[in-house]
Chain A
Amino acid sequence: QSVLTQPPSASGTPGQRVALSCSGRNSNIGRNYVCWYQQLPGAAPKLLIYKNDQRPSGVPDRFSGSRSGTSASLAISGLRSDDEAYYYCATYDDSLYGAVFGGGTKLTVL
């Protein structure tokens, strides 16, 4: 059982915009920055978003993040077939004194 809650699956068609959700509580998302990772099959996770809405250099602006209260969201616009992957949200938890992750959302591009 993950500390952060993500829907297990999501889907979209090429060119579409999708939004992936991540919910937590005051001790984690409510007080700390959220980040998002993309994991392709057989690969290490890759940082997509940090500090709620910041993109590392090299990450396309098709990816955007937001946070409101105890929830966060990752939006992907102009969906492409190579966006098919698992997406994980993560943050720090003040009660657990460490990083926590969501269970991950498997995004399928139809």
Chain B
Amino acid sequence: QVQLVQSGAELKKPGASVTVSCKASGYTFTSHYMHWVRQAPGRGLEWVGVINPSGGTRSYGQQFQGRVTLTRDTSTSTDYMEMSSLTSEDTAVYYCARDGRGSSDFADYYFDYWGQGSLVTVSS
């Protein structure tokens, strides 16, 4: 069965960086794009970005350009999201979510499996 297991909660100070990991299993890792979505406390869902199956192409939400980097290690089937210059506004649960298409060429931008979420708290 498909599983996405994310790293644990993080507490960071303003201005710091954080890296969240997402280990995939139960499917061919290099056949699906991976997205990242965040949810601030009591708020809705916000798309952060997407990485293609080989890890060579990434696309980011406009509000995250220059502050987020998505990478993947195909040898361990693990995706990573790094966010820098954190502020209190970045306090949120961050989810990895698999693209449902199952193609190495295109993403369909619907998310059929989600990780359990990683809480990132930014506080001085």
Residues of A within 8 A of B (CB): 2, 32-33, 35, 37, 44-47, 50-51, 56, 88, 90-92, 96-104
Residues of B within 8 A of A (CB): 35, 37, 44-47, 49-50, 59-62, 95, 97, 100, 108-112, 114-117
Docked-complex contact B62 and A47, CB < 8 angstroms? no
Identify B47's interface contact among A32, A46, A100, A103, CB under 8 A. Answer: A100
Contacting residues, chain B, for A99 (C-beta < 8 A)? 35, 37, 47, 50, 109
Identify A47's interface contact among B45, B50, B59, B112, CB under 8 A. Answer: B112
Can you name 13 A-B pairs with beta carbons within 8 Å? Answer: A33-B108, A44-B117, A45-B45, A47-B111, A50-B110, A51-B110, A56-B112, A88-B44, A88-B45, A90-B45, A99-B37, A104-B44, A104-B45
Docked-complex contact B109 and A103, CB < 8 angstroms? no
- Per the bound structure, the CA–CA distance linking A96 and B45 in Å amounts to 16
Interface of B is mostly: strand
Sort A-B residue pairs by CB-CB distance and give the 3 closest, nearest first. A99-B47, A35-B110, A44-B114
- Per the bound structure, the CA–CA distance linking A34 and B59 in Å amounts to 20
Contacting residues, chain A, for B114 (C-beta < 8 A)? 44-46
Known A-B contacts: A37-B45, A99-B47. Give 5 more (CB < 8 A).
Answer: A44-B114, A45-B37, A96-B61, A99-B37, A101-B46
- Per the bound structure, the CA–CA distance linking A47 and B108 in Å amounts to 13
- Per the bound structure, the CA–CA distance linking A33 and B115 in Å amounts to 23
Contacting residues, chain B, for A35 (C-beta < 8 A)? 109-111
Most chain B Cβ neighbours within 10 Å, of A47, A96, A97: A47
Contacting residues, chain B, for A51 (C-beta < 8 A)? 108, 110
